[in-house]
Amino acid sequence: MVILLSLAIPLILSACATSASSNKTKDNVVARVNGEVITKDELYEVLVKENGKAALNSLIVNKIIELEAKSQDIKIAEEDIQKEIDKLAEPYGGEEGFTQFLEIYGYSLDEIKNNIKTNLNVKKLLEPNIKIEENEIKSYFDANKESFDTKEQVKASHILVDSEDKAKEVKEKLLNGEDFAELAKNYSIDTANNQRGGELGFFTRGEMTPEFENAAFSLEVGKISEPVKTEFGYHIIKVEDKKQAKEATYEESKEDIRNILLEEKLSASFSTWIQDKFDEYKIDILL
C-alpha cells in the first residue's frame, strides 16, 4: 500500500460519537468500578482528547483524496481492489483465512477494501507525475539481487493434535480415505488455520520448527507424513505443492522493482501533495 491510513481510531471515535449525547442509561455504561459507572460519554471525551486531532486529520485526508479523485473522474474497479486483497490474503491461505485474521483484531474485509480504494486513488492521482528511469531500476537490482532470488518453498497443510495416540488415529482415518481438510476442522487444535483445512500456505526454510520443516521439505507433493512431534504437539503434514530455488534475473525482476520504486516515490510525494491540498482546500475544524 502507498500510505497507511488509520482505521482504528476513526472507527472507535465514530462509534462513541453516536452515543455521546445520550443519558446515563444502561446502554450508555461501558464499565463499573465498585458499582460506580463509566459511561460512553466519558470514554468519548477521553478518546477525543487523546486521539481526536489525529483521527480527525485522518478523516480530512481521506475526504480530500475522495474529492480529488472525483474531480479528476478517477474510478477504481472492483477487480483492482480484489487483486490487492488477494495479495494481502496469500500468506493467510486465501481470503477466508485473511478475513478470520482481520476479525481477531476487530476489522472487517470491507474496511480493508475501503482503505485499498483510497490508496489506489492516491496512486492514480500522483503516478502521472512520477518518473522511474531504467538506470534506477538496474541499480536497485544490482544492490538487492539476492532478495529477488526464489528460495525453495513448500506449500503444506497440517493437523495438530496433543497426543501421539490421537495423531495415529487421524493418520488411520486418512489411510481409510477420509478428507484431510475435514479432519483438520474436527481434530486440529491449531485454531489459526483448522477451519480452513489446516492450510499453511507456502513457506521457506527457517520459518517453521526444525522437526516440522524437515518432514515437510522431505515429503513428495501429495504425500502425507507420519506423526511429527514438535514443541506444539503432534502434526500430520500434507504437502500440497513445491517451488524450487531459482536465481533472479534482471528482466524477470524489472517490473517488481519498478513497483517498489513507485511505492517509495509515491510515499515521498504524498506528504508534499497532501500538504498543498490542505492549503488549497477550505477546512473548518470544529472539534
Q: What is the DSSP string of 231-281?
A: TTEEEEEEEEEEE--B---HHHHHHHHHHHHHHHHHHHHHHHHHHHHHHHS
Q: In the predicted model, is pLDDT for residue 268 greater than 60?
A: yes
Note whether 222 and 239 are within 8 A (CB): yes
Residue 135 in any domain: the answer is no
Q: What is the pTM of this model?
A: 0.63
Residue 272 in any domain: the answer is no
Same domain? For 101 and 27 the reply is yes
Residue 205 in any domain: the answer is yes
Q: Measuring CA to CA, which residue among 72, 54, 71 is closest to residue 6?
A: 54
Q: What percent of the chain has a predicted confidence (pLDDT) above 90?
A: 74
CB-based contacts of 43: which residues, under 8 Å, 6+ apart? 16, 30
Q: Measuring CA to CA, which residue among 181, 178, 198, 180 is closest to residue 189?
A: 198
Q: Measuring CA to CA, which residue among 86, 100, 91 is closest to residue 203?
A: 91
Q: In the predicted model, is pLDDT for residue 93 greater than 80?
A: no
Total of domains in the chain = 2
Same domain? For 109 and 176 the reply is no
pLDDT confidence of 266, banded at 50, 70, 90?
very high
CATH code of the domain containing 202: 3.10.50.40
Residues composing the chain: 287
97: number of Cβ within 10 Å? 21
pLDDT at 100: 85
pLDDT at 25: 57
As a whole number of angstroms, the distance between CA 40 and CA 19 comes to 7
Residue 32 in any domain: the answer is yes
Q: What Å distances lie between residue 6 and 98, 232, 247, 252, 274, CA to CA?
A: 19, 35, 38, 34, 16
pLDDT at 51: 87
pLDDT at 26: 61
CATH code of the domain containing 97: 1.10.4030
Same domain? For 123 and 19 the reply is yes
Average pLDDT of the segment spanning 51-65 = 92
Question: 112: which 3 cell numbers?
Answer: 480493508
pLDDT confidence of 58, banded at 50, 70, 90?
very high
Same domain? For 19 and 102 the reply is yes
User: Which H or E run includes 202?
Assistant: strand 199-204
Same domain? For 39 and 76 the reply is yes
Same domain? For 24 and 124 the reply is yes
Which of 64, 95, 129 is at the close of a domain? 129
Same domain? For 172 and 105 the reply is no
Same domain? For 118 and 36 the reply is yes
Note whether 242 and 155 are within 8 A (CB): yes
Same domain? For 164 and 239 the reply is yes
Same domain? For 73 and 27 the reply is yes
Q: What percent of the chain has a predicted confidence (pLDDT) above 70?
A: 91
Q: What Å distances lie between residue 223 and 157, 196, 203, 239, CA to CA?
A: 11, 19, 17, 6
Same domain? For 124 and 14 the reply is yes
Q: What Å distances lie between residue 129 and 146, 185, 214, CA to CA?
A: 30, 50, 49
Residue 24 in any domain: the answer is yes
Same domain? For 120 and 157 the reply is no
Q: Which domain holds residue 81?
A: 8-129
